[in-house]
Structure 1
Amino acid sequence: MTRTPLTLEDAPALTALLNRIDAADDLGEPAEIPSIRELLTMPGLDLERDTLAVRDEEALIGFTVVDVHTSLDRDERVRCQLMGGVDPSRRRQGLGASLFAWAEERAAQLAAERHSAEAEAVFRAAGGRDPDLDAGEDAPLTGGAGVRPLLESRGYRRARSWLVMLRELPGAALPEIEREQVRVSAPADEDSEATRLAHLAAFADHWGSAPVSAERWNRWWFSHTARRELASIALDADGTVLAYVIASEDKPGVLHIALVGTRPEARGRGLARAVLARTLAAAAETGYASAELEVDAESLTGATRLYDALGFARDAVYATFEKPVGRLV
């Protein structure tokens, strides 16, 4: 076996590896080559230094990607996201542990390069989907949750739960929304920065959130999976974006509501409901069979109540695991 950085030419092999992992772990998140190319060219990611691939001769059998945020999060911490996976046929051979060890070392190094030594860092990793309530104690972990024993052995603990919520389309009639001199429409290309600024304001008080750069935001905004005609923004008379929905299509026929936010000063006016209602109605007219979203189970803004009221039903729970690593000195 050899260990080398990922390259852009690895996009097809990495897509195939992720789809083998998806099938084995029952993730329901198939990968496509264009999306993996976007990942590998993500602004701020240095493939040579921030990725590692394990190969058996020419076959890609494992990888990790380290993504250290350039801004501190709400709690003044450096957020270090560790991503990766091992081919299902090559698990329980120590590859996952060795990839994690490399990723943690690189994350600590990169965090120190980007931030003051006085800053505190936190390693974060996906913990997969919770088992079904009716699954027996001896049932195998699926939905990517098989990584949890490895995470826990390395000092990670569950930090947050995320609800996946689904709504069939067209579904029940959507409520009429009084817009109070606010215009709700699909955003245009030139609305990207105004919507990013609204997002920064909307998520400033959310757990784990850190300001996203214009460069990264534009990567999402113009992603090949983005469905901007189905996104929605609420504009006041001055053209300020007060609330927004960002939408994408990651699985055929399913509209993914990637982001929903309202500026703090505009909360309580039904604007999130208005932009969501427009997006859902437009998706139904376009022919989408369903819409899905993920929401923080402990959201301070009562988002779960809003989604319940709009006909979303809770489908699954996913976990984020963290390991605080203290100051960078």
Structure 2
Amino acid sequence: MTTTDMATTRSPLTLDDVPALTALLNRIDSADQLGDPVEEPSTRERLTMPGLDLALDSLAVRRGEDLIGAVVVDVHDSVDRDGRVRCQLMGGVDPDHRRQGLGAELLAWSEERAAELAAQRHPERGEAVFRISGGRDPEPGAAADAPLTGGADVRPLLDARGYRRVRSWLIMVRELPGAPIDVPAPGGVRIIAPSDDLREPTREAHLAAFADHWGSAPIPEDRWSTFWFLHTARRELSTVALDADGTVLAYALTTEDRPGVLHVTLVGTRPEARGRGLARAVIARTLAAGAVAGFGSAELEVDAESLTGATRLYDALGFEQEHVYATYEKPVAPAGETR
């Protein structure tokens, strides 16, 4: 029996799917040349994120016993800085089963579920938006007719369904140890690795730091706690800047998602503390600690239009742009309307 002869079924994901979903994500990663494979613990953490109901917010497509496609919907509990409800759509189709309409089917299902969930969680909402990754831009100099890689082959589908590119994100990389970084010690500030009792103070600093950033919405305590205790978290290599009262003024939080690569996941400074070199100081301490721990490189993601000038800071710290990824959005139609 060939795979095309097998029955195709649709059902929600369950935690029993962690091994199969991990394998699917890694097949997608390999085919799309992303270089970002996942492990089962990370997949399980994604599927057990607070606020996610797999029975309602996920859909898996199976051919026989094989998982060949999946999608998960995540609607934020809070609105972003512009009063919008963020509806994140995440999924993919096995490379061997593409061009069969499964991607369009999963996207249509996820939009319908996200719109329903947005209306439930935010009955008095204003605008809501579907948000989805548009993959990686072609490398400079690539031929105009070259096949899209890096997950960007989804873009024709997104264009056809009314999505538009709204943001670009730079992946920046720095070799470790690299050139030494001279960072004067900020007066009256302690630069240290965060202990667990600084989890909530760091979240409060993050809420303040990102309140004026595009697309940012407050992270609730339970989700922050999940992020803080990820199995890939490297808090001993993360850094916070504390004032004399113990207030977190700035932070750089890290994970090790790929062996030997220190991922600087979040960097921020409270608005009232900007301009004092604190972001530079916390990143410098993290890079130095990563080098001592044997990491060969550090990477981070930054909004290409960052209002705080973060790209200039990272350039000055020796980071170099490696890739550009895109975010696509589409407005959610009010109940009873279609777009």
TM-score > 0.5 by shorter chain: yes
Matched, 1:46 2:40: no
Q: Is the 8 A contact 1:111 1:328 kept in 2?
A: no
- Provide the secondary structure at the position in 2 that maps to 1:84: strand
Displacement over 4 Å in runs of 4+: 326-329
Structure 2 CA distance, aligned partners of 1:120 and 1:173? 47
- 2: CA distance, partners of 1:151 / 1:13: 26
Aligned to 1:194: 201
Specify the alignment match of 2:168 in structure 1. 161
Letter in 1 for 2:170: L
Q: Report the more deviating stretch, 116-125 or 97-106.
A: 116-125
Structure 1 stretch 266-275 or stretch 116-125: which is displaced more? 116-125
Deviations 1:140-171 (A, max 9, x none): 10111011011111100000000010000000
Cα shift readout 1:102-161 (whole Å, capped 9, x = no counterpart)? 000000000000002442110000000000111111211011101101111110000000
The number of aligned residues is: 329
| Equivalent residue in structure 1 for 2:283, among 273, 276, 280 | 276
The aligned runs of 1:191-230 (5 Å cut-off) are 191-230=198-237
Residue 34 (structure 2) aligned to one of 11, 21, 27: 27
- The equivalent residue for 1:257 is 264
Name the structure 1 match of 2:80.
73
| 2:108 maps to 1:101 | yes
**Shift in Å, 1:276:** 0.3
| CA distance in structure 2 between the partners assigned to 1:216 and 1:226 by the alignment | 14
Q: Secondary structure at the match of 1:229?
A: coil
Paired residue secondary structure (2:312): helix
Q: Specify the code of the residue in structure 2 equivalent to 1:11.
A: V
Q: Decide which of 4, 7, 18 is 2:11's aligned counterpart.
A: 4
Letter in 2 for 1:105: E
Identical-residue share of aligned pairs (%): 71
Instruction: Find out whether 1:296 has 2:303 as its counterpart.
Output: yes
Where 2:49 maps in the other structure, the secondary structure is coil
1:122 aligns with 2:129: yes
Give the TM-score of the pair, scaled to structure 1: 0.99
Distance 1:32 1:139 in 2: 31
Q: Is residue 183–residue 280 contact of structure 2 (8 Å, CA) maintained in 1?
A: no
RMSD (Å) for aligned C-alpha atoms: 0.9
Check conservation: 1:232, 1:279, Cα contact below 8 A. yes
2:249 to 242, 251, 267: 242
Report the equivalent of 2:5. Answer: none
Three-state SS of the structure 2 residue aligned to 1:178 is: coil
* C-alpha distance in structure 1 between counterparts of 2:15 and 2:135, whole Å: 27
Name the SS of the counterpart of 1:244 in structure 2: strand
Structure 1 residue 112 and structure 2 residue 119: aligned? yes
| Partner deviation per Cα, 1:181-210 (whole Å, 9 max, x = no partner) | 100100001110000000000000000000
With the length of structure 2 as denominator, give the TM-score of the two structures.
Answer: 0.96
Q: Deviations along 1:271-295, whole A, 9 cap, x unmatched?
A: 0000000000000011000000000
SS of 2:302's equivalent in the other structure is strand
